[in-house]
Structures are given as C-alpha cells and as structure tokens.
Structure 1
Amino acid sequence: MPAEIQGVFAEGKDALVAGRWHYWRGQKLLKYELDSPSLSTLQCHLLCAVYICGGSFHNMMNSTVGLAVSTAYMLGLHLDPPSTMSEKDREMRRRLWWAVYLMDSKAGMKLGRPFMLSSSYAMPSLPSDTLDAAVSSGSMFAPIGQNVTWLSYNLHMVQLYIKEGQALWADHEAQASSAGLLNTQAQSFQEWVDSVPESLKLKRQNHGQPISTDFTSITFEPFTPPWLQRQRLLLEHTYHHLSINIYRPFISFTLKPPSDSIAEELAMRCASHAIMLTMITHQALIESTLFDGWHEAFFCQWNAVMTLVGFVMLFPSSTISNQAKQAIELAILVFDNFGAKFPVAANAAKIVRDLFVKIEVLAKPSDLASNAAIISQDFEASSSSSVSINQSLSSHDPFDAPEFNLFDMAVDIDFWNSVEALWPEFDNISQF
C-alpha cells in the first residue's frame, strides 16, 4: 500500500495480520492436502510460515515450518532429482528444498530451538543460477553481467546459511580456545564475501568496502532495477545478521573477555556487525521502499539493538562504544518507522528509549560488577536471533521493576501480543 495511507490503515488494526480471514480459509483448504501434498502445498506452507512469523505467533510458525519440512520429505526433495526429470523440474525441486532449509534455519535461530533439518542427512545439490536455469524458471529478469542472474542471490544466500561452527565455554581458558577456533573458521565468511559477484554487492559511499563493517553509508543506484537492489540489500543485511548471532556469545556478563584477547576482538566484531546492520536498515527505510512490508528486517533490528545494549553495558569505554550508542538511537528511529505500520514495532521503540536512558547508569565501571552479577549468564549462550538473559533483575536494580526480565525484552517483544489482541474475531474463525 502507498506509504501515506499505511499509517491510517494501521490505526486500531495491525498490518502484520491483515488478511487473516484469507489465511484461515487457506488453512482449512490445506488440510485436505495433508495426505497427498504437491509442490504447491509446500509453497503454501512456506508462505504461511512467513505470514505467521510476521504476526509474531512463534509456536504456530514453528509448527508450520515443521509441516513444510515433513512435506518436503514426503515429496522426496531431500534426494537429488533423477536425471530422467527435466532440468526445469530438477531445479525447481532443488530450490524448494533449500527454501525449506533456509526457513528451518531462520526459525531455529529466532526461537533458539533445534533445527529440524541437518546437513548430516541426504541433501540435493545446490540450486543453479545459470542463465539457462533462470530462463527455464519462468521469470524474465534480464541477466546482470558476470554470469549473474536473478537466481544468483538465492544461491549465495543458501551458501551463507550452511556455514557451520559453534562454540561453548565454562571459563577463560575454554573461552579463549573457543574464540581461537571460531576465529579460524571465520575465514569461511570472508571467503563467502569474496565469492559474491560485484553485481550483487551494495555499493558504499566514500569508496567504502561492500559487505564490510567500515561504517560507511550505502549507495542506492537510481537506475538499478528494484529487484536487484532488494537482493543486494537483503544479502548484506543477512550477512550482518548471521555474523551477530555467531559472535554474540563473546558478549558475556559472567565471563567478560580479557582485554586484547581474541574473545574481546570477536565481541567487538559482533558489535560492529550490529552497528552496520542498524545503519543499513535505517538508511534503507529513509531513502528507499525496499524494506516496505519486509517484516523480517524489524526482527533482525531488534536482535541487533539488544546485542548493542549488552555490548555498551559490558564495554562502556571501547573504541566503538560511541558508534554503538549512536546505532541504538538509530534503531529507535527504525522502530518508529516500522511502528507506523504495526504496534509491535511501536512498543519496541518505547522499550529501547526507556532502556537507553538507563544504559549510562548500568555502564558505569563502579556498577558494572554488581550489574553483571544481576544479569544471567545465559546472555551469551543463546544461539537464537534474540539475546537471551533469563534471570530477572532484583527489586532494587536501576530498571525499578521487581519482575523485570531482560530475556522477555529480547525475545518476547513479539509474545506481548496475543491472538485475541491481534485477531479480535479469533473466536469466530470456526465459521470459516
């Protein structure tokens, strides 16, 4: 919808769940295909998962992703298609399998739950991005040089998500060992960056480096097709989002990394990616319409800003603490922008505003030890797309809230919505 009427539409309603009657009617129709699914059935499950995730119904989303995974196995998509099948159909099946893989990965990281798919199982080949594959796909986007087609974005996105490597620790020695191991594995990220064609990279101002954390602003080329601009934007946005998730374990309140250690360097790297993601999101919302309706950008921003909050509290005097604080302020503007379209974002803006006022108090060196003791060690343990801090703050803490739970802030920004609040006619759904 045009930007000038989106806010009007959202008054008294939530744009995240617009079309809910259409969704419930579709769910009823899908039930008839449970025993004999088709490729279209799988596509419907994937679209429903995106819709439910946007509406903040995480358990429903997880169940829908589970249906997509089961359907993919029923259709045999986990096996590479036989050579007797046409190349067009072979590529279609591969793209669908890896779409399920991406959705499962996103759901697992967002909710902090085990993935339903594993690379240890049989897997088909990665989807092709050749000109022939692009032509046979049915879409008529023009090639963009360097043997890059509109399918190349999907291929590089899948390759980004199948990167592996996790680290756990219990003390500084284990933390240092984990940091060293992760630092060597991080080279695969740089290899991925180097493999991305220049035509799929967002340009930077002032000769900045694409897909990097040099804090330079991005450039939207006026004559580039919107679909290509969006692919560039989402590819770099996802790169920073996954980098935050991988490096965030080293922003630890109970086991602060020693100065000048590899673990501290990785914590700085995490904050740098969070800053860059925030800068990109804010600029994209202000200067383009590429993120309009793409609610995943909001959830990634929430993940980034909560990471920055933890970083500023733990490293108040770091070389990038000022940039981190500026990024938190930018994140508030991002939430204000999204807040015109759905109430969850407006709530997020208010939460971060209130929290930002208290950051300086929490970040004072004299108070850091006591504040760290209050905040749970689970901050660094979460592998989901949200910061996890399980222990409630005490009744005399600076937040002045006896039952305040920072874990709820990081994850439950969505759960504060209820089905009844977002879907007021929920009880009448049975008539459909």
Structure 2
Amino acid sequence: MELERTVARDSTSAVAERACRECSRRKSKVKCDRRIPNCSSCEQYSRNCSYEKPGKTPLTRRHLTEVEEELARTKALLKQLKPQQRNSSISNPQFSLVHGDEIEEENANPLQFPSRNAGPPRSSAGSYIDSSQPPLSSLTQEQDVSSARPRGMRQSPRMHFDNGIAQTTTSPNNHPTPNTDTISRSNWSTMLSLESPPTSGNFEWDERGGKVGGQKFVDGMGSLTSDVNGSGVASGAALLRITGGNNEHASGTSSPGVPNIPFAITSLSFLDGFIDAFFSHYHRSYPILHEATFRAQFMEIIPRPNGNAWQLLLYAVAALGAWSAATERTDIDTSLFEAAKARFSIDLLETGSLVLVQGLTLMSNYAQMGNKPNSSYNYYGLARRISMGIGLHKEFSFWESKPLVCEIRRRLWWCLYAFDVGSIITFSRPFDFPQSGVEVQLPANVHESDITSSTVKMPEPVDETTLYTHLRAQCMFHLATTQIYARMISVPFLTAKEMVELDDVSINPWLAALPHYFQLHAHQPPRYRLCHATLHWRYRNFKILMFRPFLVRRIMPRSGLEHDENSSSEDLQSEEISFQRCLDAAKESVELISNFWFNNQQTMMASWYGLYFLFQASLIPIICLRNNPRSPMAADWRDQIQEAIRVIESMIQLNPTAHRCLRVVRSLSQAYISADEGADGPTRESLQDQLTNLYPMMWPTLGSEFATFDEVNVL
C-alpha cells in the first residue's frame, strides 16, 4: 500500500495530523512530535519516517457536527455569492449558461431552520447521536441534495370536466355531451352555472412557489379560486359564482415563495420535536404510519429502509408535524417540505415500497394544504399507482403474514383512499379511485398496543374510540356517497325527489350505523376531538353540496328557473325538503365549527379544516340574505353570518387564507347585516350578473375578458 504524507497547515511549520508509522508501531515512550519530513525520534535512530493518510473519517458526533457546520457555512457563502453571480452573468452569458444553473439549483433547496422560538423545542433524546452508526445512510445524501432533485417540469394539462358517466351521449369529437331532452325535462341546466370553463381554453398551471410563471394565488381548499382545473359543481368556489363579488376579494397578495430562513437544517436531531408533533396531532386523524416502527427506525434501533424513500418520508412527516401543531404563522413546514422534495428523484419511480407510498401520500396532503392542489393531485396519482403495484388493494387467504403486517397495509390503503376521495370532492373532479377488484378490509378498531410484531391472532375490536375509529368512519362515509357524488357532477342532474331518496337510503343509514362512541354528542378524549369534529363537519358539508342547487332555484326566482307548471305536489314537496336540508346543514356547520374552535386548542390543522367547511357553509345564508332580505328567516341568516365572521377573524392569526375568506364574506354581506332591517330589498343583480362579477375570482389568470353566456344555456 502506497504511503502518503498528510500535512496539517500551520503558520510556523509542517506538522502531520497523526504520529508516524514507526512511533505508532513501536509505541515509543517518547511521544512522536509529528514533524515533517522526519520526526525527532526517527531522525535520532535513523529510521524510515513515514505517515499514513487516514482511511476513514471517525464515526463520532463531534466529527459529524464539524461536517454539518462546514456544510452550513458553505451554503451561506453560496447564498451571499448569488447576487454577484447574477451580475457577472449579465456581462458573460457563457458563464451564466454553464455555471448559473448550478448556483440556482443549490440555492433553490434551502434546508433551513429558524433560530428563535420557531417551533417545537429540540429533544435531548436523539440516542442515535452516540451510536456507532452515522445518523444518515451516507453523508452524501445530506450534503448533495441538489443532485437528488428533479428539474422542474411543466405538467401536461388534464381535462376532466366530464367523466362520461351513464346518461350522456358522445359527440363526433368523442366529447361527452348532455342529453338535452332529459335536461329540458328536469329543467336542471342550473347546475352548469356552477361549472364554467376558462374562455381561453387554457387549463395549464404552475404552482412552483417563488418561480417565474407561478400563479399569484391558488386556493388549496377549492373555495376561492377555480384555476385548479376542473373545480366544478361540487367545489366550494362554485357557489361563489352566483353570489356576486370582485376578484380583488379573493386574489389578495401573491402567494409566498420559498421562505428565507437563515440557518440550515444540519442534523436529524432538530426533527425530534416535529416528529412528536406529527404523532400528537396529525396522526390522530390519519394513522398512515405505524408509530413504533417509524420511531425505532428514526432512532436506528432497527435498520432504516435503504435509499432516499425513507428520507423523503422523514421530512414529509416533519413538515406535517410542524404545520399541524403550529399555533402561530411559521415557515418551518415549508422548508421541511422542500427538504422532502429534494429527496425525491425519478429513480424512486422505478421502485415500489410501503415507505414510498407513505411519503408520497403525506406529500400530496401537505401540498393541498399548502395551496398546491394540482401538485397534490399528481402526488396522489403516483401514490395510488405504486400502492396497487405492491398489492395494497389485495388480501390473500394463503398469506402467512403477521396481523401487524396486514393491519399496516390496510391502514395505508384506506388512508390513501380517504385523502384521494376527499381531494376529488373538494375540487369536483371525476371519481377515479378503483372500486372493482379492491378486496382489502378496513382497519380493525383496536388499540395500537393490542397488535405488536409478536401478535399471532387478531384481537377483538374494542367498544370505544381508538386511533382507527375516525379512519374507518370516514372511509365508510365515502363508500356510501361515491355514487351520489358521481351523479352530482354529471348531467342530467338529479331531481329533488331523487336526491332526497338517495339521502334517505345512503347517508342516513351510514349516520345511524356510526358506533355510539363516535356519534355527534359522544364525549371524546382530547386527542380525538378534532378528527371526531371534522367527520361531522364533512357529513354536513356533503349535504350542502347535494342540496344547494335546489336552494339556489328556490331563493332566486328571477333566474328563469321557476317551477314547471306541470310539477306535481310531490315534486314541490321534495324541493321544499331539499331547501330545508341545505339550510339546516349550513346552520349546524356554523354552530359546530364555532363551538369547537372556541373550546379546543387552536392549531393550524384545526383552522384549515374549520375554515374549509365554515366558508362553504357561510355562503348559504349569504346567498339567501342577499336575494331575500325580508324573509322571516333573515334574522337567523344574519346571526349565522356574523358568527362565521367572528370565527374567521379568530383564524387569521394562523391561516393566511382566512383573511381572503373574510374579505369575501364581508364584501358580500356587509350591506345586509349592517342594520336590523338589512338592505331595502334583494340584490338587483341578475343571476347572470352575479356569475359574471365572480368569474374573475374563479379564473384570475385570464384577466377581465370573458365571454357573454346565454343565461338559460349556462345557468
């Protein structure tokens, strides 16, 4: 082996980093002075003095800390040099092309951490720090994150306003077209007023934060804007089209780019608090991970899965933990999500594992809550395909897997199902989650500690709320309502009688079948109160979506959608029932959300779900009051609006979207709740004018030019 001399730079003399080979071998009593070219001892005895280059770096916490600090300093230096680099590229285009992308790529991934009171405290645990194994599978993964990140690419637009469900006909161009005879029979062209395409036909999108071409504001709740491609009749924004308003109410300021946090995330020990927050808050609603296994991998008690998939999952967990537990505005979660994205590469798409499905599912859910709904849609699609590739949708009787393994697979599949279906409904997209061929059972309602790796027989379900009660209930709700949703977004739209019947035979039985410990007024332990509350908000929100077209028809007699002269008394009675059920669901939503918000911990996760359901519910009394301020129910509508405003005002400290929602609610209702008597009369805007005034809010990138629609054909 060739021997090399290593020199430590010193201002006075050349000194080796270690003792020479002869002194080390002889264990000389005289300490080697490491002088170069010959130490004093070798020179005295005329020995061949030589020094070895160290083979491996020491696996110590001290050495790793030095490497991490050096990496942080390097990134800080690159950041300082970036403006100079840009100035140089102006006068030297060749330098810009060759080197500019590298600098941009390095700085586009700020794995950063705030320095003052920015999140959960650091944990002193971190036992892996003193382990003989390094905390990362390799330091290269932590340092060279830019090489793992794929370049940004524009996604191909997806057209999905029509899903070709039964009772449609196909035009020569293979586009589904409505059966006009059936529509005329039911007079339900009003549904199309809640689903209008952009006049330019441009469905492209760009949700990259802080990048050139990124959109000014995209709403992850599907309530303020519909430039999320296909936000149709079931989206929250749909009803805004007929309430009247202005683009400035919703668009607000530009969406923030990647936050500028001054210190790099240099150690996994910083993530302890965020992981604790994930399992204390987010995990209670969606138990997509097995907590004991994940924590053991994090602490390296058991081996971590190879590759970047586990690192991706780790930072996605940390991002959602920081987001869900936040009690004030923070950018920590955004940086942690960027760290997760940096660990995603095209190579991962050539692999399939539970860890990768978990990571992509969590990334998709975070992206939606971070106002990137189309990005979220893509992540969900990847997660779903990979999950079926590894057989999560199947169960085989001849398997000899342990109960814990089977339950982990079931939990992951049904969490993905709940997320994907919820997102589809939020943005009124065609239902494309597989139904045939899915054989996997719902997770068992057992306590987490009842099933361990040594369990050989499934325990009996318990008669109380567990970590999996909410997941089971939400999935059963979606299973009961998917056919209703498919009819809601298709034409011809259901009649009031048909909708009432579906409510009675599908949703009411689901509600009655809820276990007694998860009914509306059942007492819940604090850790399960949010997931219990969101389930009942979700149920009422779906009823609002079902029945609000009939409310619009009833409350807007000037729309040209009056009852047919041949309507039977049974039809009129069904429309009255639909009208009342929509009003009741909206009122109950406002009351339940207000009660929860002011009597429980106010976290970002609670504000996101609360705002999503509250905003849609508040539009019901708003549209009623604007079009019939002299109604005997007007006082009750004003009370609901004022209570909604009170809650949304309180959410502003946490959720930036709350400020935009508040502006919309106030602008639409202020003239009608400023006095006890309200406005002198209903709004004078026609239904078409109300649609036109709100149209820029739905497609803000198209400017103020939009087509003139025939009221009967569009509404």
Task: Give the stretch that moved more between structures: 350-359 or 52-61.
Answer: 350-359
Assess if the C-alpha contact under 8 Å between 2:360 and 2:379 holds in 1: yes
Alignment match of 2:575 (pick from 263, 276, 291): 263
1:371 — aligned with what?
Answer: 686
> CA–CA distance in 2 between the matches of 1:99 and 1:86?
20
- Residues 392 and 43 of structure 1: is their aligned pair in 2 closer, same or farther, counting only changes over 3 Å? same
Where 1:30 maps in the other structure, the secondary structure is coil
1:19 — aligned with what?
Answer: 333
2:532 — aligned with what?
Answer: 232
> CA–CA distance in 2 between the matches of 1:346 and 1:137?
46
| Cα offsets for 1:13-57 (capped at 9, x unmatched) | 893753222212211213242211321211112221222112212
| Counterpart amino acid of residue 108 in structure 1 | I
| Cα offsets for 1:308-358 (capped at 9, x unmatched) | 323334554556443333222112122212111132211211221121124
| Cα offsets for 1:243-279 (capped at 9, x unmatched) | 2222223233543668953123212211211221111
Assess if the C-alpha contact under 8 Å between 1:251 and 1:310 holds in 2: no
Alignment match of 1:63 (pick from 375, 378, 398): 378
The 5 Å alignment of 1:260-339 reads 261-289=573-601, 292-294=604-606, 295-314=608-627, 316=629, 320-339=633-652
> CA–CA distance in 1 between the matches of 2:620 and 2:445?
38
1:94 — aligned with what?
Answer: 410
| Counterpart amino acid of residue 197 in structure 1 | P
Assess if the C-alpha contact under 8 Å between 1:30 and 1:41 holds in 2: no
Alignment match of 2:666 (pick from 353, 362, 370): 353
- Residues 328 and 182 of structure 1: is their aligned pair in 2 closer, same or farther, counting only changes over 3 Å? same
Q: How big is the shift at 1:158?
A: 0.6
2:695 — aligned with what?
Answer: 405
2:513 — aligned with what?
Answer: 195
Higher RCO (C-alpha 8 Å, min separation 6): 2
> CA–CA distance in 1 between the matches of 2:615 and 2:396?
39
| Cα offsets for 1:348-407 (capped at 9, x unmatched) | 11221121124579x9796567522423xxxxxxxxxxxxxxx313xxxxxxxxxx5375
| Counterpart amino acid of residue 325 in structure 1 | R
Q: How big is the shift at 1:128?
A: 3.2
> CA–CA distance in 1 between the matches of 2:563 and 2:543?
18
- Residues 16 and 83 of structure 1: is their aligned pair in 2 closer, same or farther, counting only changes over 3 Å? farther
The normalised TM-score by structure 2 is: 0.44
> CA–CA distance in 2 between the matches of 1:229 and 1:273?
20
> CA–CA distance in 2 between the matches of 1:30 and 1:343?
28
- Residues 39 and 317 of structure 1: is their aligned pair in 2 closer, same or farther, counting only changes over 3 Å? farther
- Does the alignment pair 1:28 with 2:342? yes
- Residues 360 and 152 of structure 1: is their aligned pair in 2 closer, same or farther, counting only changes over 3 Å? closer
| Counterpart amino acid of residue 525 in structure 2 | P
- Residues 308 and 137 of structure 1: is their aligned pair in 2 closer, same or farther, counting only changes over 3 Å? farther
- Residues 118 and 326 of structure 1: is their aligned pair in 2 closer, same or farther, counting only changes over 3 Å? farther
Where 1:34 maps in the other structure, the secondary structure is helix
Q: How big is the shift at 1:180?
A: 1.0
Bigger Rg, structure 1 or 2: 2
| Cα offsets for 1:45-93 (capped at 9, x unmatched) | 2221222112212221222222222222222222235541322222222
| Counterpart amino acid of residue 242 in structure 1 | F
- Residues 324 and 367 of structure 1: is their aligned pair in 2 closer, same or farther, counting only changes over 3 Å? closer
1:51 — aligned with what?
Answer: 366
The normalised TM-score by structure 1 is: 0.70
- Residues 110 and 59 of structure 1: is their aligned pair in 2 closer, same or farther, counting only changes over 3 Å? same
The 5 Å alignment of 1:384-423 reads 391-393=691-693, 404-405=694-695, 408=698
Where 2:440 maps in the other structure, the secondary structure is coil
> CA–CA distance in 1 between the matches of 2:464 and 2:692?
53
| Counterpart amino acid of residue 473 in structure 2 | H
The 5 Å alignment of 1:248-259 reads 248-252=548-552, 253=556, 254=559, 255=561
Structure 1 unmatched runs, 5+: 7-11, 204-209, 211-220, 376-390, 394-403, 416-432
* Higher helix fraction (1 or 2): 1
> CA–CA distance in 2 between the matches of 1:284 and 1:97?
30
Q: What is the identity percentage for the equivalent residue pairs of Structure 1 and Structure 2?
A: 16
Assess if the C-alpha contact under 8 Å between 2:604 and 2:654 holds in 1: no
Assess if the C-alpha contact under 8 Å between 2:352 and 2:390 holds in 1: yes
> CA–CA distance in 1 between the matches of 2:336 and 2:638?
42
The 5 Å alignment of 1:149-164 reads 149-162=466-479, 163=481, 164=483
Q: How big is the shift at 1:107?
A: 1.4
1:114 — aligned with what?
Answer: 430
| Cα offsets for 1:101-153 (capped at 9, x unmatched) | 2111121122222233142x321334133437872279xxxx99636533222
> CA–CA distance in 1 between the matches of 2:451 and 2:462?
18
- Residues 169 and 110 of structure 1: is their aligned pair in 2 closer, same or farther, counting only changes over 3 Å? closer
- Does the alignment pair 1:341 with 2:654? yes
| Counterpart amino acid of residue 131 in structure 1 | V
- Residues 257 and 72 of structure 1: is their aligned pair in 2 closer, same or farther, counting only changes over 3 Å? farther
Assess if the C-alpha contact under 8 Å between 2:618 and 2:644 holds in 1: yes
CA RMSD, 1 decimal: 3.6
1:146 — aligned with what?
Answer: 463
- Residues 366 and 287 of structure 1: is their aligned pair in 2 closer, same or farther, counting only changes over 3 Å? closer
| Counterpart amino acid of residue 262 in structure 1 | S
> CA–CA distance in 1 between the matches of 2:623 and 2:696?
10
